[in-house]
Structure 1
Amino acid sequence: MNKGAAVSSDLILQRMMTLHPKVIDLTLDRMHRLLLRLGNPENLLPPVIHLAGTNGKGSTQAMIRAGLEAAGHRVHAYTSPHLARFHERIRIAGDLISEDLLTALLDECSAVNGSDPITFFEITTAAGILAFARTPADFTLLEVGLGGRLDATNVIEVPRLTIITPVSIDHQQYLGETLTEIAGEKAGILKRGVPCIVGPQAPEALDVIEARAARLGVPLLAYGQHWHVQAERGRMVFQDETGLLDLPLPNLPGPHQLQNAGAALAALRHMGCDDAACEAAVTRAEWPARMQRLRQGPLIDVAPQAELWLDGGHNPAGGAAIAATLTAMPPRPVHLICGMLNTKDVAGYMRTLAGCTASLTAVSIPNEQNTLPAAETCAAARSVGIPATEAASVAEALQKIVEIEPQARVLICGSLYLAGAILRENA
């Protein structure tokens, strides 16, 4: 990559961050208008697998991609948000989008849109769709950004398959205050007659999904009804209506990854993939900042004897998954370094972690205007019984922890934005 091109891409993205409307404004009108001007590339994509859900959709997508690629397929993939670099959002036939192509596509979409209102997510999603339409592949994996019904990715009239991973409370300001309302938004990706894989759901969420599926004639393949997954004797056992699979446990850490793996396997089996592809899905998937072990970089130099982990989960359901993962690990005192956004249910997130945490050191997320001040994160932790202090940076927090407990298990957590900063700085 030449240095000039990198600056060009960054400048375009920075300019797009100032577009109107600057804040999230869920509607498909602007997206349909821009895609029409671009020649409707959404109608030219390889078969689309569309994923929505509150937690687990990224991990599920990563497993599906690993399985499809192991079966010899070329796969496009779209995800958000990115962690270290924007390019992570757009993977073309297996490879991250190149700097030159990204720059050209962003320029093209910006020129076609002109001065009309558009959001950052909409115009960058259009760029991804344009890239996918112009490059041959066998499948396109599209991950919803927010909600589903009015998300910018929900422009595919007839996907090959849809998937709804577990739905929980998050983004209430956009999706509704109740689980029923939020599930209704997620179920907006269902399309008439197109099968849908449904991960584990609370009863009220499943009721909403099933009701919409019935109205649209959508065949559901639901966890606990049409497929099952569980751990047995250090292995993962998956069963659906075509038979049983005995596989290694997912390489992505945490008991919750069993559910994500199950949804991925249900999708792969529905598409006719063989056992080898299914095994690759659970053993080869890569998904950064989801209970990722950090093994090198400046932070490791600060705490060479510590066990350092990184996770971007940021809602109560994500906190519960982290707690289950930590509890399943060999015993070691757990110390959190936590930074969160001011839009999240901070106390709800903290409450899930209180039973497995020795201490929490609060930080503000660097260069993030919506960061929750460290003092407020600290107060939220104390309110649920977690001993908490503040630090000016993650490195300072880590130093304070290992001065007292050199062999601590330290988890940096609370936000994908914090996780992205860590991955950039600790490379």
Structure 2
Amino acid sequence: MAGRRDGLVLREKLQGSRRSRIAVAITLGILLGCALTLLYPGGLFSSDPPARLPHRPKSDLQIDSSSCESEERVNALKSDIASLSEKNVDLKKQVRELQEKLRMAEQGQDNAQKQFLVLGEQHKAGPFGTVKGLRTNPTVMPDESVNQRLAKLLEEVAIRKEIIVALANSNVKDMLEVWFTSIKKVGIPNYLVVALDNEIAELCQSNEVPMYKRDPDQDIDSIGKTGGNHAVSGLKFRILREFLQLGYSVLLSDVDIVYLQNPFDHLYRDSDVESMTDGHNNRTAYGYNDVFDEPGMGWARYAHTMRIWVYNSGFFYIRPTIPSIELLDRVAGRLSRETNSWDQAVFNEELFFPSHPGYEGLHAAKRTMDHYLFMNSKVLFKEVRKDADLSKLKPVIVHVNYHPDKLPRMKAVIEFYDNGKKDALQSFPDGSEW
């Protein structure tokens, strides 16, 4: 019995000891939780920095965390800071460049919605037959920083921001004299010769002809001084860009042209480009429906096509608009890459070809000039001189573009229209004699 009693007493002592340890553990857990709550009020795993413990004097064993950073690490950080500073300067420069490109891109957005915002308030469509789309693109903001010397000259020569411009080198000296003599006789004051060599510059100065000599440009000068008619003709698209950027409308003129009236009195100014035509009648000049016949197609043998004879790139009026400048850029760019291309063909392709897969067409407004007022030499020598009624009509200009014997025909035009010599044109054949 005594042994059994002793066993019960021992078991009770062990159970009491176990309960005591559990109580102690619970108490310690509560105390630890309270301590952690005081030390980490935001939570033990919070992203917020832990609360700082009260400041205590550092002992030899307490080491400031900043002193743990090695000297190499500090130097590396300094190097990174210097590198980032340099990159920051480059980034600022790139940002400025991007901002400028963005400004130019925004200026170049000439879609219909923006034009409405620029030109006036939006309106509902009117009744049937009364609705008309926009015809005239807004002009660009003049930028005199492009060429201050030219800007100052144009202020003196141009009238109402319009000017006749011709490019010339010594290869066309004789025709140039006939050209500016006819202009003077009509009394046109706002014209300018872009002299491509010193001989032309001296000729203009001696005849009191407004002249502009460009600053030296190796690529342009080599073409301007030695190039033939086609080379110089292609060069004009690059040079004209500055005139448009300065805010001036230009009536571009080749020198194989005789002026009989002031052309500025006969312009509409409702399009980006207003050009004379190589067409010789209403159909070829203004367009017509040409039917293509393919008998093998049976019922669908007839295909209708729209045709128009090309604009003449030697005489056109161009307004300072974004589409006009884009046209000049496109033509000049292609001519620089396609050395065998003819500038007039490229000029018309860029002006007329529509957008299609892989190609974005030019959104430019265009107008064809009256082919009897702005007359090419085919119209004159094949038709007008042989018609008693048409020969009484005095054109604004005559462009001797269809014939290689340009100088004698130019002089004959002056004799016929200005001096009243009725047979002045009769000795020339309709076309050229090979």
Give the structure with the higher percent helix: 2
| TM-score of the two chains, using structure 1 as the length reference | 0.27
When Rg is computed on C-alpha atoms for both structures, the one with the higher figure is 2
Structure with more contact order per residue of length (Cα contacts < 8 Å, sep ≥ 6): 1
